Amino acid sequence: MQLCYHSNQFGKDVMAFQPQLKILISRDEIAKAVAKLASEIRSDYQGKQPLLIGVLKGSFMFMADLIRHLDLPLEIDFIRLSSYGAARESSGKVRVVQGVKTPVKGRDVLVIEDIVDTGITISFLLDYLKKKQPASLKLCALTDKPSRRRIPVSIDYRGFTVPNKFIVGYGLDCDQRFRNLPDIYVLED
């Protein structure tokens, strides 16, 4: 199991350690992709009042940018799941740390994710939400890493397909770092 950079591994202060970041997707490319996703979502949800559920923490920046383009009477909520801890590999066990407060029954639900990797997290979440009987349930993922998939996932709105590398920035973290970067980078060992 690979671990992200933290003090235990290197015996250094986490903020002092400078890992190698290589740009993968620029802020301009992200902005264009977000606008394109939003225009598809806007036309598909005309006349509806969708409930957008962001998966914390990774989707917060994407969600914030996406909804600014959506001229719809939408609502937002967030769910927090855990499976990773400080590691880069999924433990395979997912649990709900903080559930959705908004009733899901009968709603047109659109899940907003930062990345679909093995698919374990999102399959768990889609099953969990399906049991709450939404009118419809779709998935919007900013990034997709299909080479790592272990459970098939159908992504309705996809921003980027990314290579089998660990990526950070624009909400995505490694051991809670780098979420604030405006671009997406590959974190190199």
Task: Give the binding site for ligand IMP (CB under 6 A).
Answer: 55, 58, 83-84, 90, 113-122, 166-168, 172
175 binds Mg ion (CB under 5 A): no
Q: What is the Cα 62 distance to its own chain's centre?
A: 8
Q: How many CB atoms lie within 10 A of CB 176?
A: 11
Q: Which stretch in 47-55, 102-110, 125-133, 163-171 sits in contact with Mg ion by CB under 5 A?
A: 47-55
**CB of 130 within 8 A of CB of 167?**
no
Establish if 114 lies at the interface with Mg ion (CB under 5 A).
Answer: yes
- Shortest distance, CB of residue 49 to ligand IMP, whole angstroms? 26
Instruction: State the DSSP string of 30-45.
Output: HHHHHHHHHHHHHHHT
Task: Tell me the pairing of strands 20-25 and 184-188.
Answer: antiparallel
Is position 50 an interface residue for Mg ion (rule: CB under 5 A)? no
Nearest to residue 41, comparing CAs of 155, 132, 120? Answer: 155
- What's the min distance (Å) between Cβ of 5 and ligand IMP? 13
Helix axes 60-68, 27-44, angle to 10 degrees: 60
Q: Name which of 104 and 125 has its Cβ closer to Mg ion.
A: 125
Q: How far is the CB of 154 from Mg ion (least distance, A)?
A: 17
Tell me, by CB under 5 A, how many residues bind Mg ion.
3
Question: Judged by CB, which is closer to ligand IMP: 45, or 181?
Answer: 181
Q: Report in angstroms how near the CB of residue 46 gets to ligand IMP at its nearest.
A: 29
x-marked contacts with Mg ion along 6-45 as a string, rule CB under 5 A? ----------------------------------------
Q: Is 58 in the site for Mg ion (CB under 5 A)?
A: yes
User: Is residue 117 close enough to count as binding Mg ion by CB under 5 A?
Assistant: no
Residues that are catalytic: 117
Report the sign of the C-alpha dihedral through residues 42, 100, 153, 109, in that order. Answer: negative
Which of 173, 177, 174, 149 lies closest to 161 in space, CA to CA? 149
Q: Report the distance separating Cα 14 and Cα 7, nearest Å.
A: 5
| Interacting residues toward Mg ion by CB under 5 A | 55, 58, 114
